[in-house]
Structure 1
Amino acid sequence: MTSFAAVDAPETSAQESETPADTGIQSFLITFIIRRFDPEVDEEPRWVDYDVELYATDRVLDALHKIKWEVDGSLTFRRSCAHGICGSDAMRINGRNRLACKTLIKDLDISKPIYVEAIKGLPLEKDLVVDMEPFFASFREVQPFLIANSTPEKGKERVQTIADREIFDDTTKCILCAACTSSCPVFWTDGQYFGPAAIVNAHRFIFDSRDDAGDVRLDILNDKEGVWRCRTTFNCTEACPRGIEVTKAIAEVKQAVLRGKA
C-alpha cells in the first residue's frame, strides 16, 4: 500500500485570508437612493441612501440584492427569473420605468446617485412593491384568451398562415410587467382607464385569425375608458422592456373600432 505524507499548508495571516483576489476588473462605489415605505411604521414614503460597490457589468437588481443581503434585510422588492422574462421587477430607475434585471450599471450615469422607486399609478404596498390587482383586473376584462366557435378536425390544430401570424406577432411578447401601463399619465390620473398592457393583450387576440371574439373585445375597448383615453404620448412604447410598439398597437385597435371589425 502506498502511503502519503501529510504536507503542512503554508501559514496565512487572517488579513490575507480575508482579502479577495485581485481580478483586475475595476469596481465602483455607487450611491443608490431608494424610496422606502413601510406601512407599519411610515406615514409617507422616505428616501434612504446606500453606498454599494459594483462592477460596470452588474445590474440594478444585483445592487438591490447586495443591499438586502449585506446592508438592510428589510428592503422589499419583487423579482423572480432575473432574466427579463417574468417581468416582476419593474420599477422606476432614475425616473424611467425599467426592469431592474435588465438595467446595467454601465448604462447609467454613476457620477450621480441612482434613484430607485416603485412604479406609479398602482397602490404602494411596501418599498418597491405595488398592488398589481388593478392592473390584472383590466387585463382580465379584455378577455385575453382564444375564443373560437369552430372545432378543428380531430387530431388537427387550427392552422394559420405566416402572414396572418405576423399581424399580431409583436403583441405576443408582452410579459405583463406593467412598465408600459404605469408609465402612462392617463393611467396615473384615471383609475378607470384600461391601460396600454390590457389593450396590447386585447390586440393579440383581436387580430388573431383563429379567434372569433374580436368584435366583443372591440366593444369593450370602445368604452369611454378604453382606447379613446390614450393620448399618444409614446411613454408606453419607450418603457416596454420587450420592445413592443405599444402605441402602434393601440392605434391599430382604434382603427379596428372605427371600421367595426379587425
Structure 2
Amino acid sequence: MSTAATLDKPSSAPEGAKGTASPYITVTFRIRRFNPEVSDESTWQDFQVEIDPKERVLDGLHKIKWDMDGSLTFRRSCAHGICGSDAMRINGRNRLACKTLIKDLNPDKPITVEPIKGLTVLKDLVVDMEPFFQAYRDVMPFLITKGNEPTRERRQSAADRERFDDTTKCILCAACTSSCPVFWNDGQYFGPAAIVNAHRFIFDSRDEAGEQRLEILNDKDGVWRCRTTFNCTEACPRGIEITKAIQEVKRALITRRF
C-alpha cells in the first residue's frame, strides 16, 4: 500500500527567492502498520514527505499524522530525548525518533520505521510497555534505608556519587531491553534497563537494600541470562555503559562487595 501527498510548506519555509534553493527534499517513510481491529497481520505502508533533512524522524511522523493519515499511532511527549516515549526501530536499529536526524539516515533510500521488538504491538508503533515496567518495579528502584527518619540530609561524597552516576541517566525508553536477543526469546528476563536501575541503587552508599536487590537479580530470569552481546550499550540513546553495569552487578553477586 502506498500513500503520497503534497504538503503545504510551513510558513517558515523560505520563499522561492531567485537563486535560492529550497532546503526541502522528498523522503520515503516506510512504516510498519498494525491495527488489530482490521487484521491480525502487519503491513508496510509508504509515505512521500517533503521535509528539511535537518529535521528529525519525529517531525516526519508528525507531518504524516497531521497532514496525510491521522490514524497513524505512535508515542511521543517531550520531543527532546528526555522522556523516552518515542523509542522505535528506525532503519533496523533502536533509536529515539526525536533524536534521529533525516540527514543521518541516507534519505535517498526509504526510511523504515517499526515498533521495538520483544513487546506486544498494540497498534502501529505502540507496544505494551507493562512487562517492561513490571521488571523495573520488581528491582525496587527507590532508596531503602532502615532506622529512624534522619534529621538532616544523607550526605554523600563526590566519589561515592560517581560510583553510580552513569546509571542515573536511564530514561526508561526500553531501547536497550528491546534490542536484547535474550529478551526477544524469553520475555521473563528482567532485561538490561531493570538491571541498570537496580545497579543505580545497589551501588548507592546511602541505600541499605543492596543484598535484597542482588538476590532478586540472582533469579534464573535475572542477571545471569545476559550473554554480553553489547546490543544494549549500542542502543542506549543516553550513552550508558549498560554492559559494564551488568558485569558489575554480576561481580557484586559473586564477591558480595558493592
- TM-score, length of structure 2 as denominator length: 0.92
Q: Hey, what's the Cα distance between the residues in 1 that align with 2:133 and 2:96?
A: 18
Q: Hey, what's the Cα distance between the residues in 2 that align with 1:83 and 1:241?
A: 11
Q: Hey, what's the Cα distance between the residues in 2 that align with 1:30 and 1:232?
A: 36
Paired residues of 1:60 and 1:103 also in contact (CA < 8 A): yes
2:16 maps to 1:22? yes
2:66 maps to 1:69? yes
Q: Secondary structure at the match of 2:163?
A: helix
Q: If you compute each CA radius of gyration, which structure gives the higher value, 1 or 2?
A: 1
Q: Counterpart of 1:197 in structure 2: which amino acid? A: A
2:208 maps to 1:212? yes
Structure 2: stretches of 5+ with no match in the other structure: 1-10
1:55 alignment partner in structure 2: 52
Deviation of the 1:152 alpha carbon: 5.8
2:84 maps to 1:104? no
1:228 alignment partner in structure 2: 224
Q: Hey, what's the Cα distance between the residues in 2 that align with 1:217 and 1:261?
A: 13
2:180 maps to 1:184? yes
Paired residues of 1:182 and 1:188 also in contact (CA < 8 A): yes
Distance 1:167 1:20, change over 3 A: closer
Deviation of the 1:224 alpha carbon: 1.2
Superposed CA offset, 1:40-65 (max 9, x none): 00120000000101112100000000
Q: Hey, what's the Cα distance between the residues in 2 that align with 1:113 and 1:120?
A: 20
1:171 alignment partner in structure 2: 167
Q: Secondary structure at the match of 1:253?
A: helix
Deviation of the 1:153 alpha carbon: 4.2
2:142 maps to 1:148? no
Q: Hey, what's the Cα distance between the residues in 2 that align with 1:252 and 1:106?
A: 37
Q: Secondary structure at the match of 2:249?
A: helix
Q: Which of 25, 36, 39 is equivalent to 1:42?
A: 39
Q: Secondary structure at the match of 1:250?
A: helix
Q: Secondary structure at the match of 1:76?
A: coil
Q: Hey, what's the Cα distance between the residues in 2 that align with 1:261 and 1:122?
A: 34
Give the percent of matched residue pairs that are identical in Structure 1 and Structure 2: 72
Q: Which of 85, 88, 100 is equivalent to 2:85?
A: 88
Deviation of the 1:260 alpha carbon: 2.1
1:6 alignment partner in structure 2: none
Deviation of the 1:158 alpha carbon: 0.2
Paired residues of 1:215 and 1:261 also in contact (CA < 8 A): no
2:6 alignment partner in structure 1: none
2:240 alignment partner in structure 1: 244
Structure 1: stretches of 5+ with no match in the other structure: 1-17
Superposed CA offset, 1:87-110 (max 9, x none): 000000000000000000111111
- TM-score, length of structure 1 as denominator length: 0.90
2:153 alignment partner in structure 1: 157
Superposed CA offset, 1:211-242 (max 9, x none): 00000000000111111000000000000000
Q: Hey, what's the Cα distance between the residues in 2 that align with 1:144 and 1:134?
A: 15
Question: What value does the CA root-mean-square deviation take over the aligned residues?
Answer: 1.4
Q: Hey, what's the Cα distance between the residues in 2 that align with 1:160 and 1:258?
A: 26
Distance 1:233 1:200, change over 3 A: same
Q: Secondary structure at the match of 1:168?
A: coil
> Does 228-237 or 20-29 show the bigger shift?
20-29
Superposed CA offset, 1:70-90 (max 9, x none): 111100000000000000000
Q: Secondary structure at the match of 2:247?
A: helix
